[in-house]
Amino acid sequence: MPRAFLLSRRRFLQQAGAVLVAQVPVAQALARQPSLPQALIHRGLFTCELWIPPVMAGSLDASGVRHYRLSMAPGAQSLVPHLLTPTWGYNGDYLGPTVRIPRGHPVHIHLHNGLNQSTTTHWHGAHVAGDMDGGPELLIGRGRHYDYHYTVWQPGASLWYHPHPSRRTGPHIYAGLAGMLLVDDGVDASLGLPHTYGVDDIPVIIQDRRLLADGGLAYMTHPHDVMGMKGDHILVNGREQPYWKAPAQWVRLRILNASNARMYHLAFADHRPFVVIASDAGLLERGVPVRQLLLAPAERVELLVDLRRDRGRSVVLQSDSRSVVPSLSANPADSDRLDRSVFPLLELRVSGRRGAPGILPDKLVTVPALIPRGPTRHFVLRVKGMGHGMQSPHRMKSGAGETGPSGPGGMSMGLGGLDMFSINKQYMSMSVINVAVTRGDTEIWYVANDSPMAHPFHYHGTSFQVLARDGKPPPAYERGWKDTVLVRRGETVKLIAPFHQPAGHSLPFMYHCHILEHEDNGMMGQFTVLDTSR
Ligand code: C2O
Ligand code: CU
Ligand code: CU
């Protein structure tokens, strides 16, 4: 695709976004309007249909175990029209199937590594033991496989899976390896929420990618990319800004920010309200109506959108980034053109009803209040930053000194293993256990951001609740189970989590920033959860 076309299209979008925002005063926000001028659609936007990843429900054996097979392999995919991009995927060219696992039933996942290098797969948000967690110690060599077997007892949730090798998680996810992992407990169906996959309940996996002229993935091609890799093509489920033929009823969007570094400030172009029903790791107590919502890398939300009166209309989900993203960093260079604009993500083309329509009940679930037991811990996030000591990417080798095979189509593996981003003045070291938690405790963790930019903080093996942001209660849509929380610059968040899953010294859990270039360059630590550590 000619560069000039892309640039002019983007400029056009920014102007269109500005016009839309200016013309819709808050008082009129409820009024339903056509979302984007027809002209925009004729400019080549929303030209391909949304791809819905197939469901993998596993096959039940005679002993009651559900079996799944996943294979990581190279492929090629048209991420943007007219270009073919060499990629990696699970059971396909890019991304992977939506793996559904039932709560309380044993599952067995056979994972094969058909790539040219070793990697892992981590079940982000799943309550599984350290030896099934797929962290960096559980490396699977090329041509090898690993058999994960576990039973999850957590509430129904939209989790995800992705590689987690030391220093190379960024390029491996960027190459296309990610998928949704849904824990099913039947509560959503019994509440009457939309729950028919692909009909009124869909995954919306948002990513951004930078491409070379020949279609190849460009990873960390600019020195500043170590602060967080961002691309100028916005993908939803692996296609650039697609459209979805939505039914004229309540629809449920399970939104996953699977980008390496970019945040999205979700909103509809017509400023309509939408209802947040779930945070990262489960349903909220009740739906929370909002008009916009910031989603950091690795965070998920489930949204209900009322399309009952929109038949025949085009409803556009967009990111109103410019109203919030530039304020998340003190360094203007950390936000790019998209971060300073309003850009579309997905068009909902609303047609007739399909199937039995879902409802939005008043009350969803009860989120239990937790009682702390055990030590309180403090984590401080810091950034050494660019400048002296930073070498240009051309002089750095990937994996800090290791030269290894490249990514799909010769994709660069970027920079990993630089000590640039720290937690408690420590940089990730596979030979150091940073924290020892006693199994059965419910700990309070304070995470303070002493750096000029925002960081999404995540930990393995459990779900947490956000008790406070700078001493104040968090917004209502954050008062549920989560596993990733955005910590703004200068901010301190107070989290509480029970630790039940065991993890020993050889296969510990991780806590880290989920901006993948920060994680790969120091901002990660390891913790054990053991019966005996007190
Ligand atoms: Cu999604 Cu340790 O990661
Ligand atoms: Cu995780
Ligand atoms: Cu970070």
Is residue 518 in contact with ligand 1, taking CB distance under 6 Å? no
Cα 159 to ligand 2 centre (Å): 9
Ligand 3 centroid distance, CA of 411 (Å):
23
Burial degree of 146 (CB within 10 A; 0-12, 13-18, 19+): middle
Q: Is the CB of 172 under 6 A from ligand 1?
A: no
Residue pair 138/181 in contact by the 8 Å Cβ criterion: no
Question: Is the CB of residue 496 less than 8 Å from the CB of residue 485?
Answer: no
Q: Is 164 in the pocket of ligand 1 (CB under 6 A)?
A: yes
User: How many Cα atoms occupy the beta-carbon half-sphere of 525 within 13 Å?
Assistant: 18
Residue 44 confidence (pLDDT) = 58
At 45 the pLDDT is 87
Q: Are 344 and 13 a contacting pair, CB within 8 Å?
A: yes
Could you write out the three-class secondary structure of 467-507? EEECCECCCHHHCCCECEEEECCCCEEEEEEECCCCECCCC
pLDDT at 404: 81
pLDDT in tens, 297-314: 999 999 999 999 999 999
Report whether residue 298 contacts ligand 1, using a CB cutoff of 6 Å: yes
pLDDT band, very low/low/confident/very high, at 410 (cuts 50, 70, 90): very high
Q: Is the pTM of this model over 0.85?
A: yes
Predicted local confidence at residue 401, as pLDDT: 42
pLDDT above 60 for 388: no
Query: Residue 433 above 80 pLDDT?
Result: yes
> Separation of 431 CA from ligand 2 center, angstroms?
19
Residue 39 — very low, low, confident or very high, per pLDDT cuts 50/70/90? very low
Q: Which is nearest to 345 in space by CA: 315, 323, 367?
A: 315
Distance (Å) from CA 267 to ligand 3 centroid? 24
Tokens encoding 263? 């945040």
Question: Distance from the CA of 160 to the center of ligand 1, in angstroms?
Answer: 9
Rank 81-85, 256-260, 403-407 by mean pLDDT and report only the highest: 256-260
Per-residue pLDDT tens over the stretch 481-495: 999 999 999 999 999
- Can you give the pLDDT at residue 386? 56
Residue 422 pLDDT > 90, yes or no?
A: yes
Angle in degrees, CA 234, 302, 511, rounded to 5: 80
233 lines ligand 1 (CB under 6 A): no
User: Could you report the per-residue pLDDT of 10-32, keeping only the tens digit for each?
Assistant: 433 343 333 333 333 322 333 33
Residue 355's pLDDT band (boundaries 50, 70, 90)?
A: confident
**pLDDT tens digits, one per residue of 440-462:** 999 999 999 999 999 999 999 99
Nearest CA, atom 3, ligand 1: 124
Ligand 1 atom at minimum distance from 298 CA: 1
Environment class of residue 464 by beta-carbon count within 10 Å: exposed (0-12), middle (13-18) or buried (19+)? buried
Nearest CA to ligand 1 atom 1: 124
Using 50, 70 and 90 to split pLDDT, how confident is the model at 403? low
Least confident range of 25-34, 108-117, 325-334, 368-377: 25-34
Bridging pattern class, strands 98-102 and 55-56? parallel
Pick the range with the lowest mean pLDDT from 37-46, 188-197, 395-404, 426-435: 395-404
Mean pLDDT of the chain: 90
pLDDT at 33: 36
Q: Is any ligand 1 atom within 6 A of the Cβ of residue 300?
A: no
pLDDT of amino acid 385:
63
The finding on whether 458 has its CB within 6 A of some atom of ligand 1 is yes
pLDDT band at 395 (very low <50, low <70, confident <90, very high): very low
- Percentage of residues of the chain with pLDDT beyond 90: 86
> Are residues 198 and 66 in contact, defined by beta-carbon separation less than 8 angstroms?
no
Residue 15 CB contacts under 8 Å (≥ 6 apart), including other chains: none
